[in-house]
């Protein structure tokens, strides 16, 4: 699985003019299930994200995790993270999981994050979404598991 995480002071997602997910301080997690991914990869990605020490401590050093801070996660499906731009000018997305498997793994990932005690909000799988965020730092990290 692949994720792009952004440390945020706030983030929200809107579909058809209605806000469907919102968090305060925490992480915006854009996530993509790739061909061949399974529930074990979802759990591994969730565990890795929850423990990443990318929040500042009292000394101003990135030394605290999402779990340590009590922050929340806004989780948004993003198949375009699978973009292959190696040929031509039009990205290919054949490395992304098929929609049925992608939805199941997205939902599994949301459950995996929630099971770690992290408050979660979500986007809507497959919807045309508007994502708003205030990037904190900025801190943006790409993860593959």
Per the annotation, the verdict on 78 as an active-site residue is yes
Query: Would you call 79 a catalytic residue per the annotation?
Result: yes
Residues 6 or more apart in contact with residue 61 via CB below 8 angstroms: none
Q: What angle do CA 1, 66, 32 make, to 5 degrees?
A: 15
Residue owning tokens 């929340």:
72
Token output for 105 = 């793994």
User: Active-site residue among 6, 55, 79, 120?
Assistant: 79
Question: φ, ψ for residue 74 (rounded to 5)?
Answer: -105, 115
Give the DSSP letter of residue 58.
T
Separation of alpha carbons 119 and 110, rounded Å: 10
* Secondary structure of residue 102 in the 3-state scheme: helix
Catalytic position from the list 6, 55, 78, 109 = 78
Catalytic residue from among 6, 14, 69, 80:
80
Q: How many CB atoms lie within 10 A of CB 40?
A: 10
Residues with active-site annotation: 78-80
């Amino acid at each position: 699985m692949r994720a792009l995480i952004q440390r945020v002071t706030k983030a929200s997602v809107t579909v058809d003019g209605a806000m469907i997910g919102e968090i305060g301080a925490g992480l915006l997690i854009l996530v993509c299930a790739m061909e061949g991914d399974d529930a074990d990869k979802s759990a591994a990605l969730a565990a890795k994200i929850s423990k990443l020490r990318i929040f500042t401590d009292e000394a101003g050093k990135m030394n605290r995790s999402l779990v340590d801070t009590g922050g929340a996660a806004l989780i948004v499906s993003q198949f375009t993270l699978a973009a292959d731009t190696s040929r031509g000018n039009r990205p290919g997305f054949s490395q992304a999981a098929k929609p049925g498997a992608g939805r199941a793994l997205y939902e599994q990932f949301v459950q995996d994050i929630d099971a770690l005690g992290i408050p979660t909000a979500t986007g809507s799988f497959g919807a045309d979404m508007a994502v708003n965020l205030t990037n904190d730092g900025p801190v943006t990290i790409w993860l593959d598991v």
